[in-house]
A and B are shown apart, each in its own frame.
Chain A
Amino acid sequence: MKKQFDETILEVKNLQTYFYTDEGISKAVNGISFKLKKGETLGIVGESGSGKSITSLSLLGLIPSPPGKITGGSILFKGEDLLAKTEKQMRSIRGNEISMIFQEPMTSLNPVYSAGEQIAEAIRLHQKLGKKEAWEKAVEMLRLVGIPSPEKRAKQEPHELSGGMRQRVMIAMALACHPEVLIADEPTTALDVTIQAQILELIKSLQKDLGTAVILITHDLGVVYETCDRVAVMYAGRIVEYTSAKELYNNPKHPYTIGLLNSLPRLDMDQDELTTIPGTVPSPFNMPKGCSFAPRCAHAKPMCHESVPDLLTLDKNTEVSCWMYTSQWETDHTIIEKVGIE
């Protein structure tokens, strides 16, 4: 089961994506860093508003501007900074070297072109192929993603296909140019569980065959556990924990991760009452000064409300952004106790 990933293909350093709106500045992605290695699957999990989808759009330079803007950091793809590229250069990377699958296949497919035409278009955009060859390749891709009678299906329009089938078309399109990085943003959220199982299995097996590195963005902790090698947990625009998928479940560190796992209704155990995280995610226009999770955290101390903890490396595999794991934690503790005594 143990896999070794050495070569870093994508490295995000201190990425910041802000939205400038009438209501104020929303720091949707607020200084995140992670590495993606060749052939690896990285999961990015978080709840609505955590910034996980904005992260993926930032990687591809798809942030609507205005109001959005990448204000800092760098995205190194094979050593080159994507943020320094022109739109034209980006266009040759998008869909070719880095491609993406979205949540809702119906809205991301063009309703008036057949499935085959759309895949062929993506192929012809990036490769010097004739119309006929591109079509043949499209049909072959549809076969690869497990669509029965692909010759017939290629001629059908998206509305004639089922949800699972449409998502397969999206995957075929995304993989048509053999990208090195595939970003899948909630690829199975709109699908039924039995179809979800098919699609995840498909992504896994294609990844194995083609050696693609995958970034899987999801809110489903079960999906992450079964498909990812490493996981970044996001909360309010920051990564709070960055570790291996196994470690995340066996030994979660950040109070938010622990809370999230505890509030999950489980199939594998009986729970009388779910442990909840009190409160709600803070408004992006009114972020707490310190750790953004502090207002909901049971362990929070004065220092948590004061300043944001750095992403701390606990061991080779785990990074966590929480004051609890720093040396200052104990000293702060004594301060509280003294206050308590007085």
Chain B
Amino acid sequence: MALQLVDKKILLNVDHLKQYFPIKGGLLGRTVNHVKAVDDISFQIYEGETLSIVGESGCGKSTTGRAILRLDEPTSGNIHFGEKDLLSLGKKEMRKIRKDLQVIFQDPFASLNPRQTIGQILNEALAIQNVVPKEERKARIEELLGHVGLRPEAMDRYPHEFSGGQRQRVGIARALAVDPKLIICDEAVSALDVSIQAQVLNLLKSLQKKFSLTFLFISHDLGVVRHISDRVMVMYLGKIVEIADKKSIFDNPQHPYTRALLSAIPVPNPVHKRERIILTGDVPSPIDPPSGCRFHTRCPFAIDICKSRVPELKLSEQNHQVACHIID
């Protein structure tokens, strides 16, 4: 599995992406500082795989997703989707390409228009991209609802008539409507109860197989990530600290932050005893991140060089990249 990935086609290539948000202040409302939400990250997504981004609040995982979709305009860097340079596209061309790039958000209630029926919501998605002729749209909507396990009657009902899990299914149907290549799932199952979450995760997995989709899965829940991913990328304060195959990252995490993160999760299994690394303090502010390695202020293994030099993301073993001075 790990070896095959090398030959796989790169679907999305993110190169030195930076996303800074200005902070206005002072009397004249000048930019006084920046929130460095994503600070110079590079990674690839291969066709047909699920790459997950994990990390805690403020690490930049959602910002990365939004930057790829150009929902926020990135500060600098390059994003290539197939052959196309996404950041150089005009508004019209970008809209066209959004057919291939879809997104599922966390809160299925906030992302569905409460005044539209499910049929109208799905119809709108089809109409904007004009993928299906008008007269065939109804049949297509029925088919879509079938794919996500909803009855055709759902078409005439409003979002509030559905439970959270069902609403998320509608969100998935809307993303699927335009036959996308890449779906960005931003905390797509985080708001759901476990029994419903499991249903939606199984659905996503089966749809991926059926339509050979590629997922960028953004989540803070490592159990979910382990279940759905092929590869995992761990972020901390706007930087990638580790990217590896799922197996490699869960069985052999290398970065001290990844290790702490994994060890912090309570696991209901007495056999699965891991030495817990309790990190002290909070995540520092992304406005004024620590110098050198951003994790050095909380890292139990930090040495002098960590304070002054930013560690580069380096290959530590097959398909496993880590950014840490100690591992070099």
Residues of chain B within 8 A of A195, CB atoms compared: 56, 282
Known: A265-B226, A267-B222, A267-B223. A259 touches B264 (CB 8 A): no
Q: Which residues of A, 181-199, contact B by the 8 Å Cβ criterion?
A: 192-198
Q: Which residues of B contact A148 (CB under 8 A)?
A: 281
Q: Give the residues in chain B near A200, CB-CB below 8 Å.
A: 266
Closest to A272 in B: B205
Which residues in A have their C-beta under 8 angstroms from that of B262? 267
Question: Which of B229-287 touch A at CB < 8 Å?
Answer: 250, 260-272, 276, 278-283
Query: Taking the complex as formed, is A48 at the interface, i.e. its CB lies under 8 A from any CB of chain B?
Result: yes
Taking CB as reference atom, which chain B residue is nearest A146?
Answer: B280
- Is A215 an interface position by the 8 A CB rule? no
Interface residue ranges of A149-181 to B (CB < 8 Å): 162-165
Q: Which residue of A lies closest to B278 (CB)?
A: A197
Interchain CB contact under 8 A, A219 and B266 = no
The answer on a CB contact under 8 Å between B194 and A260 is yes
Once bound together, how far apart are the Cα atoms of A262 and B227, in whole Å? 13
User: CB distance B282 to A223 under 8 Å?
Assistant: no
Contact A273-B194, Cβ < 8 Å, known A222-B267, A266-B226, A267-B250? no
B224's nearest neighbour on chain A, judged by CB, is A265
Contacts across chains A and B counted by CB atoms under 8 Å: 127
Stretch of A96-104, A274-282, A323-331 contacting B (4+ beta carbons < 8 Å): A274-282
Give A196 to B199 CA distance when docked, in angstroms.
26
In the complex with contacts A162-B282, A193-B56, A194-B56, A265-B227 CB distance below 8 A: yes
B contact residues around A219 at 8 Å (CB): 193-194
Q: Tell whether B139 is near chain A: CB-to-CB under 8 Å.
A: no
Residues in A whose Cβ lies below 8 Å from that of B198: 262-265, 274-277
A226 to B164, CA, bound (A): 28
B58's nearest neighbour on chain A, judged by CB, is A192
Residues of B within 8 A of A (CB-CB), count: 45
Question: Within the assembled complex, what's the spacing in Å between the Cα atoms of A226 and B282?
Answer: 22
Tell me whether B264 and A193 are in contact (CB under 8 A).
yes
Are B57 and A192 closer than 8 Å at their CB atoms? yes
B313 close to A (CB within 8 Å): no
* B195 and A263 contact, CB distance less than 8 A: yes
Q: Nearest A residue to B247 by beta-carbon distance?
A: A270
- A273–B220 CB distance below 8 A: no
Contact A276 B199 (CB under 8 A): yes
Cβ-defined contact, A192 with B56, below 8 A = yes
**Which residues in chain B, 275-316, are within 8 Å of chain A measured between CB atoms?**
276, 278-283
The answer on a CB contact under 8 Å between B194 and A263 is: yes
For the complex, give the distance between the alpha carbons of A208 and B196 in Å: 36
B65 interface contact, C-beta 8 A: no
Chain A residue contacts of B260, Cβ below 8 A: 194
Which residue, A197, A260, A277, has most C-beta atoms of chain B within 10 A?
A197
Whether a CB of chain B sits under 8 angstroms from the CB of A261 is yes
B119 CB contacts on chain A under 8 angstroms: none
Alpha-carbon distance A246/B56, docked complex (angstroms): 29
Alpha-carbon gap, A266 to B268, bound state (A): 9
**Are A268 and B195 neighbours in the complex by a CB distance under 8 Å?**
no
**Does B202 count as interface, using CB distance less than 8 angstroms?**
yes
Q: Is A20's beta carbon under 8 Å from chain B?
A: no
Contact partner of A197 (CB less than 8 A), chosen from B202, B221, B228, B264, is B264
A194 near B195: Cβ-Cβ < 8 Å: no
Q: Is the CB of B74 closer than 8 A to any CB of chain A?
A: no
**Chain A residues with Cβ under 8 A from B283's Cβ?**
162, 192
Q: Taking the nearest CB of chain B, how far is it from the CB of A218, in angstroms?
A: 10
Contact across chains for A221 and B205 when beta carbons are under 8 A apart:
no
1/0 contact string of B169-198 vs chain A (CB within 8 Å) = 000000000000000000000000111111
Q: Given the known A-B contacts A194-B264, A222-B267, are A280 and B163 also in contact in the complex, defined by CB atoms under 8 Å?
A: yes
| B193 with A220: CB separation less than 8 A | no
**Other-chain residue from B221, B222, B270 in contact with A246 (beta carbon distance below 8 A):** B270
Say yes or no: A249 contacts B269, CB within 8 Å. Answer: yes
A201 interface contact, C-beta 8 A: yes
Contact B270 A264 (CB under 8 A): no
Q: Is the CB of B269 within 8 A of A268?
A: yes
Asked if A121 is at the interface (CB within 8 A of a chain B CB), the reply is: no
Please, which residues of chain B bring their CB within 8 A of the CB of A275? 198
Is there an interface contact between B223 and A264, defined as CB atoms closer than 8 Å?
yes
**CA gap between A103 and B254 in the complex, in Å:** 33
CB pair A47–B282 under 8 Å, yes or no, is no
Q: Is the CB of A267 within 8 A of B265?
A: yes
**CB-nearest residue of chain B to A165:** B282
Contacts of B108 in A (CB 8 A): none
B55 to chain A, nearest CB (A): 9
Q: A192-B57, A197-B276 are in contact. Are A267 and B267 (CB under 8 A)?
A: yes
Q: How far is the CB of A49 from chain B (nearest CB, A)?
A: 9
The minimal Cβ–Cβ distance linking A118 to chain B, given in whole angstroms, is 20
Q: With an 8 A cutoff between CB atoms, is B48 at the interface? A: no
Q: Mark B80-120, 1 if CB is under 8 A from A, else 0.
A: 00000000000000000000000000000000000000000
Identity of the chain B residue whose Cβ is nearest the Cβ of A221 in the assembled complex: B268
* Docked pose: A223 CA to B221 CA in angstroms: 13
A-B contact pairs, 30 of them (CB 8 A): A47-B194, A47-B196, A163-B57, A192-B57, A193-B222, A193-B264, A194-B261, A197-B278, A221-B268, A222-B265, A225-B267, A225-B269, A226-B268, A249-B268, A249-B269, A249-B270, A250-B270, A259-B195, A264-B194, A264-B198, A264-B268, A265-B224, A265-B226, A266-B226, A268-B267, A268-B269, A271-B227, A273-B205, A274-B227, A280-B163
Q: Which 3 A-B pairs have the closest CB atoms?
A: A222-B266, A263-B198, A192-B56
